[in-house]
Amino acid sequence: MRWDRVAADMSAHSSDSASLEFGVLGTAGIADTAVVPAIAASDHAVGAVASRDADRAAAFAARHSIPRSYDSYEALLDDDALDAVYVPLPNGLHAEWTKRAADAGLDVLCEKPLAADAAETRDVVDHCERRGVTLMEAFMYRYHPRTERAVELAATALDDVRTVTATFRFPLYDRPNDVRLDPELAGGSLMDVGCYPVSLARALLGVPDRAYAHAGDTRDAGVDTELAGVLAYDDGRSARVASGFDTRHVERYRVDATNGWVEVENAFDAPADERLELRYEVDGRNGVETFPAVDQYRLQVEHFADRVAADETPLTDGAAAVENMRVLDALAESAATDAPVDL
């Protein structure tokens, strides 16, 4: 594939899917800085935003030139002009508002993780299937061309992938009231950023047979602020995953096989304005591939809209969300019990 054509392909993306009008449930930072600008840069639009604080919703709408703002999520779901909803609420609220959006007949792009545990995730997925709406979990990194290339290399160039090592940590200091530290809202580093390494490991190796984990809570918040885990497979393959709020920012993964490896830095929340690299060795040949600056959030939005238009299953669909959450549940249980957990 010619990666230097990706940016041109993005700008040429116009008629593959009908334009969607999104509603946004909440004014979270990820919506403000990434997803709403990505929708605005695409062939789609944000028609409304809601917050439980009317002034906050109005300010957000003014900042992004959104025509309508509401002081309740219920009011937004009653907006007949909307086609779809983006849900960037705290993790513990994803399930309720995804189901309520589905009840309103709206297709749903929901931030990861889709729900608080695997059972709740299955319930959300089944509910959306019954309502006949498209449901997609917002794992934006899966839509970056570099990730697609890494997955392709692992599948076609590497022989017998044996290990995956993946980490996502960043410092969450001096913010004791951050929702990511709230156990009632399904907070913790595993749920917030550990889901990315788990997603990658599962994409490359499949669902593990058992999980081991150790976690720490340095804030006495009732959630993990550091977690290290091992995903084990009966054939001897393994993945090592790590997440945290207590160290400097690091995002990376490495895939090791019998005939080579793949390495990626700035792996998950890739900057939209920088060229990125992927390094590898295959059969003794070393390579570096460079990818042009692209907005993976926009690619995510376009994928969602295309799947809605075609009535097809997204890459990061409900079934994938359930499998990812099963692994997250097993890691959390292992950390709590200090024992391996079978899946």
Catalytic residues, by residue number, are: 112
Residues 180, 192: contact at Cβ < 8 Å?
Answer: yes
Residue type at 34 in one-letter notation = A
- With CA atoms as reference, report the closest residue to 31 among 107, 90, 115, 117: 90
* Sequence-ordered list of residues with C-beta below 8 angstroms from that of 270, at least 6 positions apart, any chain: 141, 144, 146, 276, 296
What is the residue-wise DSSP string for 75-116? HHHT-TT--EEEE-S-GGGHHHHHHHHHHTT-EEEEESSSSS
Residues 341, 334: contact at Cβ < 8 Å?
Answer: yes
What is the residue-wise DSSP string for 192-254? IIIHHHHHHHHHHH-S-SEEEEEEE-TT-SSS-SEEEEEEE-TTS-EEEEEEESSS--EEEEE
Half-sphere exposure of 316 (CA within 13 A, CB side): 29
